[in-house]
Amino acid sequence: MHSHADTLLRPDDGDALRQVLRQLHGRSGIPVLFGGQVENTLLSLSQYIGVRTAGLRGLRVRAETGLGGRVLTTGRPAKVTDYRSARSITHDYDRPVLTEGIRSVVAVPVVVSGTVRAVLYGASRGLTPLGDRAADAVTDASRQLAAELVIRDEVDHRLRLLDAAQGSATDGQQGVAPEELRQIHAELRRIAQQMPDDDLRGRLLDAAQRLARPSAAHSAPGTPLAPRELDVLAQVALGCSNAEAGRRLALLPETVKSYLRSAMRKLGTSTRFEAVVAARRQGLLP
């Protein structure tokens, strides 16, 4: 039997790393960009833009070795203007770096909850070293990737709760309380709206929809609601006011009120409470 954790697999974080590097290249024009993910204090380079040789491909960087190893250890950005003569780092990786012709390098950690999860590098081959603007651009990219990983981690957490709840129900155990299931449903929908990846957003919304279905095992098909109408109704079902729902969904209170009125009209109800009850009966909310 496949769980929700199996059917809603986390996308490869390397894809997010590659996308961030591509965007960084387009914005900054830094000639050489590369990076990789960290696992068990070992950095494995996997993404590259502008490299000319195979030396950096698949390179594994240990903590405290080279520029990347220094970043792994300190959790802070580091830069050398002339790699060959730099005394602030070890030279364990001189052969691949110098063969590539790299002279100036900046390395920036991607930190999530105090842990270095990846490292991004920007480099140049010319005599003019990378300046503060380039270093700031790489730092901004690292923050962007960190924010993406935070969202993915939260999604994983919510899906594990969902999987545990459904597993308990299958085993005849008490499982997670209905109120917690409703919170998971609302959070999955809220997080989905923040995802730039269309495929992942769709799968998150599908998971939220599946979570709502058990409450409507013997009901007719649900009334179609617009995604934002259902987002608002999910927050209202948790007891949120219009202002609270707006803060959670990054909407103005008046916009929340408009979506709520539209949902009530489609559901044929006249109050917030009746709308929530009707949505649950139709399997739109857990």
- Position 136 pLDDT exceeds 90: yes
Ordered structural domains, the chain, with CATH: 7-149 (3.30.450.40), 177-281 (1.10.10.10)
Q: Between residues 217 and 17, which one has the greater pLDDT?
A: 17
CA-closest candidate to residue 143, choices 190, 174, 108, 115: 108
The partner residues of 110 in beta bridges, in order of sequence, read 118
Mean per-residue pLDDT, 15-19: 92
What was the pLDDT predicted at 203? 73
Q: In the chain, which ranges are continuous DSSP H helix?
A: 4-7, 13-28, 66-74, 94-99, 132-170, 178-192, 198-212, 227-236, 242-249, 253-267, 272-281
* Model confidence pLDDT, tens digit, residues 176-200: 567 777 887 888 888 888 777 777 7
Mean per-residue pLDDT, 135-155: 89
- Position 165 pLDDT exceeds 60: no
Place of tokens 């063969």: 99
Angle at alpha carbon of residue 76, lines to 22 and 18, rounded to 5°: 15
Q: What CA–CA distances, in Å, run from 29 to 20, 23, 48, 128?
A: 13, 10, 14, 14
Are 133 and 118 in contact by the 8 Å Cβ rule? The answer is no
CA-closest candidate to residue 226, choices 191, 262, 175, 194: 262
Per-residue pLDDT band at 3 (split at 50, 70, 90): very low
* Model confidence pLDDT, tens digit, residues 69-87: 999 999 999 999 999 999 9
Per-residue pLDDT band at 214 (split at 50, 70, 90): low
